[in-house]
A and B are shown apart, each in its own frame.
Chain A
C-alpha cells in the first residue's frame, strides 16, 4: 500500500507527548510553606528547594510524581529529591512533597512536605 505525502510513520512523528505540552503551574499551599519555615533551612538551601519545585516538577510531573504508600498516608503523589547542603557538603537533605493535581489539570498543588537531614547519607 502506498501512503500519501502527509502520512508519516509513528517513529518519526515529532509530536511531543501530552505531559510535555501542558504548561504546568506549581502552587504551594499555606501548610507546606509553614512547614518549610519550621525546617529552619539556610537561605541557600531554601532557594534550591524552590528551584526544584519551580523548574523540575512542572517539566514532567507524570515522570517525577510517584505513588508511595510510605508517605502521607498514600494520599496524592510524592515528589522527592535529595540535596547536598550548600554550606556543609557532608550534610544531605532529603525532601518529600505531597502533590495533587488541581481540577484545572494544569496546576500542581504542593500540599505538605517532609524533610530529614543526615551526614553522609
Chain B
C-alpha cells in the first residue's frame, strides 16, 4: 500500500507557499498571494494537519483491506497524532491572535491582510478538525478489530469538542469582508461612542454635544 505521506507534505507545502487554502478559487489564491503573512507557523500547521489527514485516510484504507497485527500496531501508534494536533490547535490560535493584535505591530492592517488572516484561521480549524476526525474514525475501526479503544481516545474526543467550541467562539464576532454583512450587532453612533469610551450613552451624547458647541464656537 502507498501511504501518500511525504509526497503529500511536499505537494501541500508547495501549494501553501503560494497561499492555497481550503475552498479557494484561483482569484482568491491570487488575492492571498499579495498579502503579507503575519504569522508563518500558521501555514506550517495547516500543511501539517492536511498531510496527516491524507495519511490517516490512507491508514483507514489499509485497515479495510488488510488487518494483520503489524499493520494494526503501526496504525494504533499513529493514531496519537490526531490527539497531538487537536491539543496544538488552541495554542496555535492564541499565538496567531497575539501576533496579529499585539500593539508592537503596525497600527492597522489592510482589509486584504485582515481577510486573508481570517481565511487562514478558517483553514487551520478546518484542517485540524479533519485530521482529528480521521483519527476518530481510525479509533472506531481499531476498536472494532481489536475489541479495545486505542490509548488517548478520551483526549481526542475532548480535543474535538474543544475545537468545535473554540471555532464557534472565534468566528461568532469576526465577520468576513467578503461574506454577506448583517446589521444585527450594529449600533447607533452615540451608543458606539459610549461603548468605545466605556461610558453611558447619555454621557456620550453630552460629550458630543459639548464638542459640537466647542466646534461651533471656534470653527477650524
Residues from chain A with a CB closer than 8 A to the CB of B207 are 43, 47
Q: Assess whether A65 is interfacial by the CB under 8 Å rule.
A: no
Complex CA–CA separation, A11 to B7 (angstroms): 77
Interchain nearest-CB distance for B51 vs A (Å): 32
B108:A84 contact, CB within 8 angstroms: no
B175:A35 contact, CB within 8 angstroms: no
A29:B193 contact, CB within 8 angstroms: no
Q: Assess whether B73 is interfacial by the CB under 8 Å rule.
A: no
Residues from chain A with a CB closer than 8 A to the CB of B103 are 40
Complex CA–CA separation, A47 to B214 (angstroms): 12
A30:B186 contact, CB within 8 angstroms: yes
Residues from chain A with a CB closer than 8 A to the CB of B190 are 50, 54
Taken residue by residue from 95 to 118, chain B's Cβ proximity to chain A (1 for < 8 Å, 0 otherwise) reads as 000000101000110111000000
Complex CA–CA separation, A68 to B173 (angstroms): 27
Complex CA–CA separation, A31 to B186 (angstroms): 9
Q: Assess whether B168 is interfacial by the CB under 8 Å rule.
A: no
Taken residue by residue from 27 to 59, chain A's Cβ proximity to chain B (1 for < 8 Å, 0 otherwise) reads as 111110101111110011011101101110000
A47:B186 contact, CB within 8 angstroms: no
B220:A84 contact, CB within 8 angstroms: yes
Residues from chain A with a CB closer than 8 A to the CB of B212 are 51, 55
Residues from chain B with a CB closer than 8 A to the CB of A115 are 107-108
* Interface magnitude class on chain A: 35 or more
The closest CB in chain A to the CB of B112 belongs to A73
The closest CB in chain B to the CB of A27 belongs to B186
The closest CB in chain B to the CB of A48 belongs to B211
The closest CB in chain B to the CB of A30 belongs to B185
Interchain nearest-CB distance for A86 vs B (Å): 9
Interchain nearest-CB distance for B210 vs A (Å): 9
Q: Most A CB atoms within 10 A — which of B181, B190, B215?
A: B181
Residues from chain B with a CB closer than 8 A to the CB of A36 are 196
Interchain nearest-CB distance for A87 vs B (Å): 14
Q: Assess whether A91 is interfacial by the CB under 8 Å rule.
A: no
- Knowing A30-B173, A54-B208, the reply to whether A25 touches B188 (Cβ < 8 A) is yes
Q: Assess whether B170 is interfacial by the CB under 8 Å rule.
A: no
The closest CB in chain B to the CB of A29 belongs to B186
Residues of B within 8 A of A (CB): 101, 103, 107-108, 110-112, 173, 175, 177, 181, 183, 185-190, 192-193, 195-197, 204, 207-208, 211-212, 215, 220
Residues of A within 8 A of B (CB): 25-31, 33, 35-40, 43-44, 46-48, 50-51, 53-55, 72-73, 75, 84, 100, 102, 107, 109, 111-112, 114-116
